[in-house]
C-alpha cells in the first residue's frame, strides 16, 4: 500500500495546477476517497487538501523568486483573485508575494514520501470477526468533530437520555457487549481538518426491531469487523488506538475499510485511569490475484496490461478480453486440481492440455466441448496405466 501512496504523491506533484478529484485518488490508491483521506490524515498529521495547498504554495514561492508575476501564479494554482492568493500565501509563509519577489525570501514544503520506519514497536491486539446484520437502537445528535479529548456535545447527548429511554434500550439489547455503544457516521466534508459535524448515536446492539417512538434505529449490514481491544487512560488510549489503526494497521494488513459506521464501547470502572475499550471497524478483504495465475499470464501470453498491486488488481482491458482471462484462470484452477486428484501432475501432457484449453478461451475457438472431455479421458487412461 505504501507504493500506492507514493504513486499518488507523484501524481499530485505532476498535477499541482489541476483539480485533483476524489475519483482519481481512489483509482490510484485502491481505497475510497473518504477512507484514504482519513488514513492520510493520521499518517501525515495533516489533511490531504492541506498537503496539496502547501505544495502549491511552495512551488509558487520558487516561481515568484524566479520572476513570475503574482497575477499569473494566482491563476495558475486555481485562486479566483490576487487577494485570495496573497492571503493564503501570507498565512503559509508569513510574507506577501510581493515581499518574496523583492527580497528573494524562500520557504519550502517538501514533497511527501511514505516508507516503513521500523522501530521497537508495540504490537496491536486485534481479531477479525464476522457479524450478521444487526440493529443499533438509541438516540443520536449531530456533534462537532473532535479528535482529542472528551467531546462535550456527546456528554450532553448522554445527559439527555431519559430513564424511560434507558429502560427501553436495555429491553432490546440482546447482543455483545450488552452495554452502551458509541456509533459515529455521516461525517461532514471537513472531517479531516477537524471541522464540521458528524452524527453520533448512543445505543445498544440488538437483533430486534425498534418498537419505541422515542428511540432511533440504524441497520448495520452483515460484515467482517476488525476489533481492537485497548486498555489505559480514557479517552486518550481509545483515540490513540484509532489513530494507529489508520496509520499503522491498515497499510500493512490484508483488509480495507467497509462503508459502515465506526463503533466503540468503554467499560467504566469508576475511574478514567485504566479503562477497557474496544474499537470496531467494518472491513473487507483486499482484492488480490494469485501469483501463480499471474505468472502463467506473463509467461504464456505476455499479458502486460494487468498491474498487480499490494492492495489488489487494476484492469485496463476491454470486457471481452477480461472475461476470457477470467475464464482461463478458472479453467487452470479446475485442471490443476484435477491433475492432483489423478496423480498426473508430473506428465508433460497436462501442460499441453492447459495450454490448449487456455487458447480455446482466449481466442474463443469453439472446440472446448470436444477438447475438455478428450483431455479428461486421456488423463484417466494415462493414470490407470501407472496404477
pLDDT band of 149, cuts 50, 70, 90: confident
Q: Work out the mean pLDDT of the chain and round it to a whole number.
A: 77
Q: Which domain holds residue 25?
A: 2-103
Residues 34, 261, 229, CA angle at the centre, nearest 5°?
A: 105
DSSP label at residue 77: T
Domain holding 227: CATH number?
Answer: 3.20.80.10
In angstroms, the first-to-last Cα distance of the chain is: 49
252 and 139 share a domain? yes
CB atoms within 10 A of CB 21: 11
Q: What is the mean pLDDT of residues 30-39?
A: 79
114 falls within a domain: no
Q: What is the mean pLDDT of residues 56-78?
A: 91
Q: What is the mean pLDDT of residues 137-160?
A: 91
Q: What is the mean pLDDT of residues 271-279?
A: 88
pLDDT at 36 over 90: no
Beta bridge partners of 281: 226
pLDDT at 59 over 70: yes
What's phi and psi for 43, nearest 5 deg? -75, -40
207 and 272 share a domain? yes
Q: Which of 127-136, 179-188, 246-255 has the lowest mean pLDDT?
A: 246-255
266 and 380 share a domain? no
C-alpha distances (whole Å) from 216 to each of 14, 145, 204 are 48, 21, 11
* Per-residue pLDDT at 281: 93
118 falls within a domain: no
38 and 68 share a domain? yes
152 and 223 share a domain? yes
* Per-residue pLDDT at 337: 61
40 falls within a domain: yes
161 and 273 share a domain? yes
185-213 burial, b for 16+ CB within 10 Å, e for fewer?
bebeeebbeeeebbbbbbbbbbeeebeee
pLDDT at 368 over 70: no
157 and 253 share a domain? yes
Higher pLDDT among residues 338 and 269, named by residue: 269
178 and 134 share a domain? yes
C-alpha closest to that of 173 among 203, 201, 140:
203
280 and 305 share a domain? no
* Per-residue pLDDT at 103: 85
Number of domains in the chain: 3
150 falls within a domain: yes
Tens digits of residue pLDDT in 303-359 = 333 333 333 333 344 455 556 666 666 666 666 566 555 544 445 454 455 545 545
pLDDT at 153 over 90: yes
Q: What is the mean pLDDT of residues 295-302?
A: 38
141 and 188 share a domain? yes
* Per-residue pLDDT at 200: 95
Q: What is the mean pLDDT of residues 131-148?
A: 92
Region of residue 149 (left: phi > 0; alpha: psi -120 to 50; beta: else): left
* Per-residue pLDDT at 14: 92
pLDDT band of 41, cuts 50, 70, 90: confident
pLDDT at 387 over 70: no
Contact 281, 225 (CB under 8 A): yes
Which domain-ending residue is among 229, 254, 285? 285
pLDDT at 141 over 90: yes
C-alpha distances (whole Å) from 79 to each of 11, 85, 86, 110, 260 are 21, 6, 10, 21, 36
Higher pLDDT among residues 192 and 83, named by residue: 83
Domain holding 8: CATH number?
Answer: 1.10.10.60
pLDDT band of 1, cuts 50, 70, 90: low
For the whole prediction, is pTM greater than 0.85? no
136 and 198 share a domain? yes
202 falls within a domain: yes
239 and 322 share a domain? no
pLDDT at 43 over 50: yes
Q: Which of 6-20, 119-133, 234-248, 336-350 has the lowest mean pLDDT?
A: 336-350
261 falls within a domain: yes
pLDDT at 364 over 90: no
* Per-residue pLDDT at 102: 87
Amino acid at each position: 500500500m505504501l507504493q500506492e501512496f507514493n504513486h499518488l504523491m507523484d501524481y499530485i506533484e505532476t498535477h499541482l495546477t489541476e483539480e485533483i478529484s476524489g475519483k482519481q485518488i481512489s483509482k490510484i490508491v485502491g481505497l475510497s476517497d473518504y477512507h484514504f483521506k482519513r488514513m492520510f490524515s493520521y499518517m501525515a498529521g495533516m489533511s490531504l487538501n492541506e498537503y496539496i495547498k502547501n505544495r502549491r504554495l511552495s512551488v509558487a514561492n520558487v516561481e515568484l523568486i524566479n520572476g513570475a508575476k503574482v497575477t499569473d501564479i494566482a491563476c495558475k494554482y486555481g485562486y479566483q483573485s490576487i487577494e485570495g492568493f496573497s492571503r493564503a500565501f501570507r498565512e503559509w509563509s508569513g510574507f506577501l508575494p510581493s515581499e518574496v519577489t523583492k527580497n528573494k525570501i524562500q520557504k519550502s514544503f517538501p514533497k511527501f514520501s511514505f516508507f516503513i520506519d521500523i522501530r521497537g514497536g508495540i504490537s496491536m491486539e486485534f481479531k477479525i470477526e464476522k457479524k450478521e446484520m444487526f440493529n443499533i437502537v438509541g438516540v443520536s445528535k449531530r456533534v462537532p468533530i473532535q479528535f482529542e479529548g472528551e467531546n462535550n456535545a456527546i456528554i450532553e447527548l448522554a445527559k439527555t437520555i431519559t430513564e424511560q429511554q434507558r429502560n427501553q434500550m436495555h429491553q432490546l439489547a440482546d447482543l455483545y457487549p450488552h452495554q452502551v455503544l458509541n456509533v459515529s457516521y455521516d461525517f461532514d466534508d471537513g472531517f479531516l481538518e477537524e471541522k464540521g459535524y458528524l452524527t453520533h448515536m448512543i445505543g445498544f446492539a440488538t437483533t430486534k426491531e425498534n418498537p419505541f417512538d422515542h428511540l432511533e434505529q440504524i441497520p448495520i449490514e452483515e460484515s467482517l469487523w476488525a476489533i481492537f481491544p485497548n486498555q489505559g487512560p480514557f479517552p486518550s488510549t481509545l483515540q490513540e488506538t484509532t489513530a494507529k489503526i489508520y496509520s499503522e494497521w491498515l497499510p500493512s494488513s490484508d483488509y480495507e475499510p467497509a462503508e459502515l459506521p465506526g463503533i466503540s464501547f468503554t467499560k467504566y470502572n469508576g475511574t478514567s485511569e485504566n479503562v477497557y475499550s474496544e474499537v470496531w471497524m467494518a472491513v473487507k478483504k483486499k482484492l488480490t490475484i494469485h501469483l501463480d495465475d499471474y505468472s502463467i499470464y506473463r509467461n504464456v501470453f505476455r499479458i502486460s496490461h494487468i498491474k498487480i498491486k499490494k492492495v489488489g488488481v487494476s484492469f485496463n482491458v476491454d470486457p471481452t478480453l477480461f472475461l476470457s482471462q477470467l475464464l482461463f484462470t478458472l479453467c487452470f484452477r479446475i485442471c490443476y486440481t484435477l491433475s492432483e486428484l489423478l496423480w498426473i501432475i508430473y506428465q508433460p501432457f497436462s501442460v499441453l492440455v492447459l495450454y490448449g484449453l487456455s487458447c480455446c478461451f482466449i481466442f474463443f475457438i469453439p472446440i472446448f466441448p470436444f477438447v475438455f472431455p478428450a483431455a479428461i479421458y486421456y488423463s484417466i487412461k494415462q493414470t490407470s496405466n501407472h496404477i
